[in-house]
Amino acid sequence: MILTGDQAAAEVLARSRVVAVLGAQRAPHLPAHYVPDYLHQNGYRILPVNPSHVGHVLWGEPVRARLDELSEPLDMVDVFRRAERLDDHLPELLALRPLPHVVWFQLGIRNDRVAAGLAAAGIDVIQDRCTMADHRRFRHAGLLG
């Protein structure tokens, strides 16, 4: 299902604990670093995925080249890739076993075709929202407990 609205996003953030970050970056000034860093500081286990950074460790986890190298269940895949590149990742996302509960496209990222493919497979999708901004806002509003 394609999820919209604050209530759905708050529920996803409240129930997710293990988050794969597709496109994770090492440079602290990039959103693909400071957003997952914020989530890590707030109790989420972050599994970084980026072929350019294999051999490095981020948030206490080795960086993997591809999502399908992850062998554990994922609550969420947090996507930091350009919208036009998401088609390349759809087979990889659908090959995960078990399937992740949610795929979250970060702020500015929207690909309705990929979102529909994920939703058809039973994966919830959030598009064009920032996990960090939403988490901060929901925490201050008391929506995250």
**In this predicted structure, what is the pLDDT of residue 3?**
75
**In this predicted structure, what is the pLDDT of residue 145?**
61
Burial class (CB within 10 angstroms; exposed 0-12, middle 13-18, buried 19+) of 38:
middle
- Digit-coded pLDDT (tens) for 56-79: 999 999 999 999 899 899 999 999
Mean pLDDT of the chain: 95
Confidence of residue 2 (pLDDT cuts 50, 70, 90): confident
Domain at 52, CATH number = 3.40.50.720
Determine, yes or no, domain membership for 91: yes
Question: Do residues 107 and 135 lie in contact, with contact meaning Cβ atoms separated by under 8 Å?
Answer: no
Domain count across the chain: 1
Share of the chain above pLDDT 70, in %: 99
**Which structural domain, as residue segments, surrounds residue 121?**
6-140
Determine, yes or no, domain membership for 108: yes
Alpha carbon separation from 46 to 26, 35, 59, 66, 126 (Å, rounded):
13, 11, 6, 14, 18
Question: How far is it, in rounded angstroms, from Cα 41 to Cα 32?
Answer: 15
- Digit-coded pLDDT (tens) for 14-25: 999 999 999 999
pTM score: 0.94
